[in-house]
């Protein structure tokens, strides 16, 4: 039986994955951004910020392409509105990265030296969640080819559970980091303290954004 996608000149799943690749390139700038911040390399930090803005813009272009490819009335293995929701959740990652870059660049903020390693550990746990989400999105094309049935579905559902577990761990590490920051409040400027809390929130949002995207994939599979 001919797969329903073969009836159309373009499948939305390849550009949807292409969008995630671009989003991931953006997220991959997180660690270098904070490496530059902690080493005091403002020139490198500025270059990375520009790279983040460029990648976010490129992701928006691909997002528009996906929306054009999936016009109303086209028959797909999954609901069109579900795909649009998936795309939006996925795009939130790039938007959050842009927000992080903007706040980090607002002023020359400093974190206590003793906190730098803890912050980088938090970033690593968040990136783990994002990597799992990226791997789940890679399976969209094979899922579509199978009609969203069979072994491919089980593989993705296992990734969803893995993502949820990793996201809970990032929450735990983020909470511990916030508590650590409070121990330095007497030696930090109030504005710096506020900005760091906001930065921690946004870094945590990356894990939430990725996990939400992966969780929505489970919802699509269940319909």
Q: Which residues contact 136 (CB under 8 A, 6 or more apart)?
A: 156, 159, 160, 163, 213, 214, 217
Q: How far apart are the first and last CA of the chain?
A: 22
Instruction: Give the number of domains in the chain.
Output: 1
Q: Is residue 6 part of a domain?
A: no
For 97-125, how does the pLDDT look when each residue is reduced to its tens digit (9 = 90+)? Answer: 999 999 999 888 877 888 999 999 999 99
Q: Is residue 166 part of a domain?
A: yes
pTM for this model (two decimals): 0.89
Q: Is residue 218 part of a domain?
A: yes
Structural domain range at position 198:
11-222
Q: Is residue 22 part of a domain?
A: yes
Q: What is the CATH number of the domain that holds 142?
A: 1.20.58.220
The rounded distance, in Å, linking the Cα atoms of 31 and 69 is 34
For 166-180, how does the pLDDT look when each residue is reduced to its tens digit (9 = 90+)? Answer: 999 999 999 999 999
Q: Is residue 2 part of a domain?
A: no
């Amino acid at each position: 039986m001919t797969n329903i996608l073969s009836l159309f000149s373009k499948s939305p799943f390849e550009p949807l994955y292409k969008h995630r690749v671009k989003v991931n390139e953006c997220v991959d700038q997180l660690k270098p951004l904070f490496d530059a911040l902690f080493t005091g390399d403002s020139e490198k930090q500025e270059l990375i910020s520009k790279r983040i803005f460029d990648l976010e813009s490129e992701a928006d272009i691909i997002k528009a392409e996906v929306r054009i490819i999936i016009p109303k009335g086209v028959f797909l293995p999954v609901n069109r509105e579900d795909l649009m929701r998936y795309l939006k959740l996925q795009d939130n990652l790039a938007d959050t990265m842009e927000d992080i870059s903007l706040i980090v660049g607002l002023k020359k903020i400093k974190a206590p030296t003793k906190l730098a390693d803890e912050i980088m550990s938090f970033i690593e746990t968040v990136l783990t969640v994002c990597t799992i989400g990226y791997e789940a999105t890679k399976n969209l094309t094979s899922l579509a080819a199978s009609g969203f049935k069979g072994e491919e579905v089980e593989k993705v559902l296992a990734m969803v559970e893995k993502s949820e577990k990793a996201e809970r761990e990032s929450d735990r590490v983020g909470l511990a980091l916030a508590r650590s920051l409070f121990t330095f409040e007497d030696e930090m400027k109030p504005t710096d303290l506020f900005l760091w809390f906001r930065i921690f929130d946004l870094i945590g949002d990356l894990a939430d954004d990725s996990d939400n995207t992966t969780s929505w994939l489970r919802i699509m599979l269940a319909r």
